[in-house]
């Protein structure tokens, strides 16, 4: 039987209502938000962090939720076992970067906190008991993907206790970005209502403490619920719009049900992604109808209370799901949906602790397949901007007109590697990038109050992997790691995990990085000199029989 993964604690911080901006220095922004009602100074006081210490709000919110989760699960430095932190964030240290950007030459050290991976490392450092950090950046599904990753690495035996979730602070950067996409509601959002008019952005953090049932019982931990299953799929439709039939959402829910080995009729409650935009809710409802037919379970969106907390949403809503089950013991199975830009769609299912573990069969793989280890079947690398011009052989000018250099480079190396391997569409696309689409982010930072829809749409890290998926129409597993120099290690571990568990037979793994002269100059002042203008490596990983 597969190992049963259980939840033994959680911590959460989020807004309790939608209101005008109070703490972020952006009073001129008139759309309402779900802002956590503590200033940074108050958060630092509560956490015993010196007021003068610069730490991103994303990290502060993350630490707050993690502290609560550790207390809730009774995990301390003395608790034996390997402890991993898996955090979903897309904003990372952007709140500090944008605050200092106009005088960044005098605050170069701020750049050391900018990237998502550094933000997670600084969060972990507060506790001193984490043996490893993994950051997942798939925009609005990051938190849900972190929880799914937690279950996968526990099942594979890579860790003993996982803290998985997400953290995201409100920033001018993404408030203006969403505003330029014209999908913000001036009122409190109305998910699934006929008169819905957009979403409200929010902030917050939530983390679950996850371990195998065996480990939890051995240390005498209280089991709150089981992680029953999860599914990750890509809509592969558009960078900012969901497909009319909700293909990605449908596949994610379907796979989660298969992973949990249950029927749609077993699900009693769905915490929907339900952002309140015309497009998302129509697409999600189409997918829900495809899954549940006429027998719809209770479906709700809690984003009219918390706001859309983007990377934290999947984790905050997982906590809401678990609390629902605690309050109502008749709930046996609940589902948490999270969908991100680029169609990074994830669905996870929890089951009541009264259910005796996951009634999942052993995986349908033969012993010889179980011994498979992955091998690199093809590889393509580019290291200079001149080489990107070759994309012309693959794309028409109209198709590439909006792509920045990292999108062109990553698509080019991916297509060439796939061609070499003779595989048209891989089963999964895994992206590693420490900095993501920095060039576009820098252009946005230079004039942050100007709306720039195209640049914003291509500023999230997962734009790279979803751009490839959209081109290939690849609906398989799609995830992006942003863990500094360890990003590729995370990606390769995942490729092995997907192949060895039988979830994929071919995986496109990419390491894609771009920098600008300004970024290199700033990092040089920080003593880091090994950045290239562009570096893109794509590999096709397949299984190999030992």
Catalytic amino acids? 140, 273, 308
Rounded least distance, CB 194 to another protein, Å: 15
- Tally of CB atoms within 10 A around 194: 6
Helices 57-73 and 40-47 pack at an angle, to 10 degrees, of 30
Closest to another protein by CB, 145 vs 200, is 200
**Which residue in the set 84, 240, 302, 487 belongs to the binding site for another protein (CB under 8 A)?**
240
Closest to another protein by CB, 64 vs 456, is 456
Closest to another protein by CB, 258 vs 278, is 278
DSSP 29-86: --S-BB--SS-HHHHHHHHT--TTS---HHHHHHHHHHHHHHHHHT--TTS-S-EEEE
- Determine if 239 is a binding residue for another protein (CB under 8 A): yes
Rounded least distance, CB 451 to another protein, Å: 5
Rounded least distance, CB 395 to another protein, Å: 12
Closest to another protein by CB, 247 vs 317, is 247
Number of helices and strands (H, E) in the chain?
Answer: 19, 15
- Determine if 243 is a binding residue for another protein (CB under 8 A): no
- Determine if 454 is a binding residue for another protein (CB under 8 A): yes
Stretch that binds another protein, among 67-75, 167-175, 412-420, 452-460 (CB under 8 A): 452-460
- Determine if 449 is a binding residue for another protein (CB under 8 A): no
Stretch that binds another protein, among 347-355, 395-403, 422-430, 514-522 (CB under 8 A): 395-403
Rounded least distance, CB 186 to another protein, Å: 9
- Of 502, 459, 456, which Cα lies nearest the Cα of 482? 459
- Determine if 44 is a binding residue for another protein (CB under 8 A): no
Binding to another protein by CB under 8 A, coded x per residue (else -) over 159-188, reads: ---------------------xxx------
Letter string b/e over residues 42-67, b meaning 16 or more CB atoms within 10 A of that residue's CB:
ebbeeeebeeeeebbbbbbbbbbbbb
Closest to another protein by CB, 69 vs 457, is 457
Q: Which of residues 398-417 bind another protein (CB under 8 A)?
A: 398, 401-402
- Determine if 483 is a binding residue for another protein (CB under 8 A): no
- Determine if 193 is a binding residue for another protein (CB under 8 A): no
C-alpha to C-alpha distances, 127 to 43, 64, 77, nearest whole angstrom: 16, 11, 8
Rounded least distance, CB 337 to another protein, Å: 23
- Determine if 453 is a binding residue for another protein (CB under 8 A): yes
Stretch that binds another protein, among 140-148, 163-171, 283-291, 448-456 (CB under 8 A): 448-456
427, 499 contact by CB (below 8 A): no
Closest to another protein by CB, 402 vs 525, is 402
237, 18 contact by CB (below 8 A): no
Rounded least distance, CB 182 to another protein, Å: 4
Tokens of 292: 């549940």
Distance separating the N- and C-terminal Cα atoms of the chain: 24
Q: From CA 160, how far away is CA 212, in angstroms rounded?
A: 7
- Determine if 440 is a binding residue for another protein (CB under 8 A): no
Tokens of 16: 């309790």
Phi and psi of 3, rounded to 5°?
A: -65, 140
Closest to another protein by CB, 277 vs 347, is 277
- Determine if 451 is a binding residue for another protein (CB under 8 A): yes
Q: From CA 31, how far away is CA 45, in angstroms rounded?
A: 29
Closest to another protein by CB, 83 vs 452, is 452
Rounded least distance, CB 392 to another protein, Å: 11
**Which residue in the set 48, 397, 517, 527 belongs to the binding site for another protein (CB under 8 A)?**
397
- Contacts with another protein by CB under 8 A: the residue count is 16
- Determine if 457 is a binding residue for another protein (CB under 8 A): yes
Q: From CA 484, how far away is CA 492, in angstroms rounded?
A: 14
Closest to another protein by CB, 108 vs 400, is 400
Q: From CA 232, how far away is CA 259, in angstroms rounded?
A: 11
Letter string b/e over residues 482-498, b meaning 16 or more CB atoms within 10 A of that residue's CB:
bbbebbbebbbbbbbbb
Q: Is 284 exposed, middle or buried (0-12, 13-18, 19+ CB in 10 A)?
A: buried
Q: 3-state class of 530 per DSSP? A: coil
Note the residue count of the chain. 546
Q: Which residues bind another protein (CB under 8 A)?
A: 180-182, 238-241, 397-398, 401-402, 451-454, 457
């Amino acid at each position: 039987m597969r190992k049963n993964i259980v939840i033994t604690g959680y911590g959460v911080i989020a807004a309790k209502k939608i209101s005008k901006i109070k703490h972020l220095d952006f009073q001129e922004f008139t759309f309402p938000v779900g802002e956590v009602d503590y200033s940074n100074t108050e958060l630092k006081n509560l956490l015993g962090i010196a007021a003068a210490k610069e730490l991103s709000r994303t990290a502060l919110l993350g630490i707050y939720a993690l502290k609560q989760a550790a207390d809730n699960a009774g995990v301390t430095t003395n608790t034996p076992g390997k402890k991993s932190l898996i955090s979903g964030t897309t904003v990372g240290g952007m709140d500090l970067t944008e605050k200092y950007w106009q005088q960044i030459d005098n605050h170069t050290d701020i750049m050391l906190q900018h990237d998502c991976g550094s933000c997670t490392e600084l969060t972990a450092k507060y506790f001193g008991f984490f043996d490893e950090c993994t950051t997942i950046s798939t925009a609005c599904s990051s938190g849900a993907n972190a929880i799914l990753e937690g279950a996968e690495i526990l099942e594979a035996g890579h860790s003993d206790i996982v803290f998985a979730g997400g953290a995201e602070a409100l920033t001018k950067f993404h408030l203006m970005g969403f505003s330029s996409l014209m999908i913000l509601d001036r009122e409190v959002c109305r998910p699934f209502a006929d008169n819905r008019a957009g979403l409200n952005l929010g902030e917050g953090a939530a983390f679950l403490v996850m371990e195998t049932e065996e480990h939890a019982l051995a240390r005498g931990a209280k089991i709150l619920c089981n992680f029953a299953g999860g599914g990750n799929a890509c809509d592969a439709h558009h960078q900012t719009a969901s497909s009319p039939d909700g293909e990605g959402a449908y596949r994610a829910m379907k796979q989660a049900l298969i992973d949990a080995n249950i029927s749609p009729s077993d699900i009693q409650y769905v915490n929907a992604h339900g952002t309140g935009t015309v497009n998302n809710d129509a697409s999600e409802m189409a997918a829900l109808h495809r899954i549940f037919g006429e027998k719809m379970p209770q479906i709700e969106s809690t984003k009219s209370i918390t706001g859309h907390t983007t990377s934290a949403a999947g984790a905050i809503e997982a906590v809401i799901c678990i609390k629902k089950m605690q309050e109502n013991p008749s709930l046996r199975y609940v589902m948490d949906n999270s969908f991100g830009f680029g169609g990074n769609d994830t669905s996870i299912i929890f089951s009541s602790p009264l259910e005796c573990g996951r009634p999942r069969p052993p995986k349908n793989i033969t012993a010889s397949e179980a011994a498979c280890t992955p091998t690199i079947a093809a590889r393509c690398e580019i290291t200079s901007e001149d080489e990107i011009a070759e994309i012309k052989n693959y794309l028409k000018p109209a198709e590439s007109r909006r792509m920045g250099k990292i999108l062109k480079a990553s698509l080019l190396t991916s297509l060439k590697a796939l061609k070499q391997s003779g595989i048209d569409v891989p089963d999964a696309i895994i992206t590693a990038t420490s900095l993501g689409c920095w060039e576009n982010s820098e252009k946005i930072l230079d004039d942050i109050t100007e709306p720039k829809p195209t640049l914003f749409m291509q500023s999230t890290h997962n734009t790279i992997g979803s751009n490839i998926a959209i081109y290939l129409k690849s609906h398989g597993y799609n995830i992006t790691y942003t863990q500094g120099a360890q990003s590729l290690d995370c990606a390769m571990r995942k490729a092995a995990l997907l192949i060895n568990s039988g979830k994929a037979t071919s995986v496109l793994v990419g390491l894609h990085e771009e920098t600008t002269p300004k970024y290199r100059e700033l990092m040089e002042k920080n003593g880091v000199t090994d950045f290239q203008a562009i570096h893109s490596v794509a590999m096709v990983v397949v299984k190999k029989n030992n």
